[in-house]
Each structure stands twice: as structure tokens, then as C-alpha cells.
Amino acid sequence: MNYSPNPTREDLAILQSTIEKFCKSHVAPKFQEWEDKGIFPRQLWNELGAAGLLCIDIPEEYGGHGADAEMAMSIPCGITYGNYGSIAVGISVHSDIVSHYILNLGTEEQKKSYLPKMVTGEKIGAIAMTEPGAGSDLQGIKTSAKKHEDGWVINGSKTFITNGQHADFVIAAAKTNKDVKGSAGVSLFIIDTDQKGFVAGRNLEKLGLHSSDTSELFFEDVFVSDSNVIGQVDKGFLSLMTELPRERLALAMNAVAAMEFMMEITKNYVKERMAFGKSISNFQNTRFKLAKLQTELRLNKALINECMDLFLQGKLDASTASMIKYSSTEAQCRMADECLQFFGGYGYMKEYPISKAFADARIQKIYGGTSEIMLELVARDLLGN
């Protein structure tokens, strides 16, 4: 199967070929074993780095390749197209989110300390925002950071943290000013996971994305110096809002890659599956449903191309990013359900790739901002309140 997120770019086609070869040699032979264990090995990060598949749009001065954002975000897409979504999501968090917090908000010292090792896979990053009582609504953050001489003492907990088991450091949001309400008074900190008082809890069992490690994190009087603050003190929420459009565009691109995979395997299957003496591809119900799904896929690809153009120009706003995140992930889940139905009872069996694509899809409407939050953001922009 050939895949390219943007057929007009020959360099992306070459990159996708590299990804396909990497997955065939480094992922496919052991993937089911990793899925059963609920985590892929730490060594895979080093292999990804050696293959040049991490943080490729980080500038060369910090160890990256200086590629553009479309090329960088295409890497998790190529892995998702192989139905290895649990690996793609970890890479996306590391490369498309964490590294850009450091690049865009970090000091020169922070950039030189973390970015080159993120490119090679020596240091793995995680983003720690979600808490047991604060999911899409980050204004409810309870984790606190109290000023102490030349640093901060952090206490609290996070949950559902991708890369939580493998992470060498996390970027965590904490309340630094309790005298103000809502989103004000939140700051971001780089916390190395070998710090005293940092505890990575259990690796959480999930409905899908099984080998993507997802953890609870605990901070018990964790001391970090002032040099570990990333961005401005008490301005962390604004920093989060600035970086979210990229995150949501990346999630949308992965949704479309998953849809491409599901459409490919389903159209081949319906041509082979027989019912009442003929392949089910000859039934009008099959043909019309697949035609609708393909139309939805093309529409979302078109909006993604528009969003990518805006992003590369620095013009992708929160509302438009919310539109594509909402539209593509809802479409992904609809396609997963419809395509699985074509496989009948076999689609419910774990050995069939469509069952994995179905399970992996469901989280897409939740993380990165739920569909309901996306609609609220669009409505606020549309109606002005």
C-alpha cells in the first residue's frame, strides 16, 4: 500500500517509503507482542532517532534536520497508516508537541540541553497537563508549584500521560498563583523524571493503543530550579493555547491517515467477501456507504491542506484548528464503525486489522480536547461569546 499525506510533494513520498521500510524491519516482527505487553521497548526510541524519524523540523543548530512542519507531522501519519497507531501517538507527543514547547518557549540553555537528545531518542519527552479532575478544562488544574528561594516545590498528580513510562522529562502545568481564578496563574515546568519526589505510577490499561505507554504521574515535593520554568511565570495557559493548534492539526492528520488505511483494507475485503452468490461490493448498500465514507475522507483531507497552509504561514487560529480536529476524528470513528460492519463477525476478532483500527480510533474524540470542547471553541468564535 502506498500512502502520502500530500501527493504533490515528492519528498513526502520518499519519506513515507522510509517509514514503511522502518516499520517492516523494526516494528512489524514484534508489534503484537508489544501490544500484548502494553508497552513497546525503550530501544525503539533510539532506533527511531537513528533512522532520522524524530523531531525532524527542529533547526539544525539544535540537532534537527530543519524540515518543515508538514514533513514532520507526516511521520506519525505514515506509521498510523501501517496500523501502528500506538507508536505513532507517542512519536507525535514527543516530536510534534514537546519539542516545540521547548523550541518556541524555552531558553537557549533549555534548547541546547534537551532538543539534540530528543532528535536522537536519547531523551524522551511527555506533556503533563491532564489531571484526575481536569481534562479538557485545564482551568481546573490542582497541581501546585510554590516558590522556594531559587526554585519551586511542586506537588500534585497527572493522569493519562502518553510516554509516561519512558519519559526522561515532562513538561508539566502547575498553579503558581492561587490568588487568581480560572486559567490565570498557571506556569509550565520542565521536570526531569530522575528528580527526587517524581514517581511514575502504573502503566494504564486502555481500550486501544495498547503498546503506547500511558501513565499516572505524581509529584511529591519535587524541587526544580528557576531555570526549569519554560515560558513566563503565571502565563502558562497562554503558552498552551499558542501550541494547541499544532497539536490538533497533527491529530487530524493522523485521523485521516487511519481513515486511508481503513478504506484500503475494506474496499479490498468487500471485493472478496461473498454473500448470496456474489461479492458484497456489488450490493448497493456497500457501494453507497463506501462512497459516502470516501467523500468524507476527501473533504477532511481538503480542510487539512487548508489548515496546513495556514499553519505554515503562522495563521492557523484556535477555531479553525478545532474544526479540523473535530471533523476528522468524528469521521475516523464513523469510518471505523462502518468498515468493521462490512467484515461481519470477523471484524470483531482481534486478529483482523480493522478491529484494532476500531479500538484505536475512539480516543481521538477525547484527547487533545474533546469533540464537545472543539464545538464550543468554534461557537465562541462564530458567535462572539
Catalytic machinery residues: 247
Rg (CA), the chain: 21
Axis crossing angle, helix 236-272 with helix 318-342, rounded to the nearest 10? 30
The letter for the amino acid at 119 is V
CA–CA distance, 235 with 243 (Å, rounded to integer): 13
Q: Cβ contacts of residue 179 below 8 Å, gap of 6+?
A: 185
Q: What is the 3-state secondary structure (H, E, C) of the chain?
A: CCCCCCCCCHHHHHHHHHHHHHHHHHHCCCHHHHHHHCCCCCHHHHHHHHCCCCCCCCCHHHCCCCCCHHHHHHHHHHHHHCCCHHHHHHHHHHHHHHHHHHHHHCCHHHHHHHHHHHHHCCCCEEEECCECCECCCHHHCCCEEEEECCEEEEEEEEEEEECCCCCCEEEEEEECCCCCCCCCCEEEEEEECCCCCEEEEEECCCCCCCCCCEEEEEEEEEEEEHHHEECCCCEHHHHHHHHHHHHHHHHHHHHHHHHHHHHHHHHHHHHHCEECCEEHHHCHHHHHHHHHHHHHHHHHHHHHHHHHHHHHCCCCCHHHHHHHHHHHHHHHHHHHHHHHHHCHHHHHCCCCHHHHHHHHHHHHHCCCCCHHHHHHHHHHHHHCC
User: CA–CA distance from 298 to each of 3, 198, 260, 322, 347 (Å)?
Assistant: 14, 45, 10, 18, 24
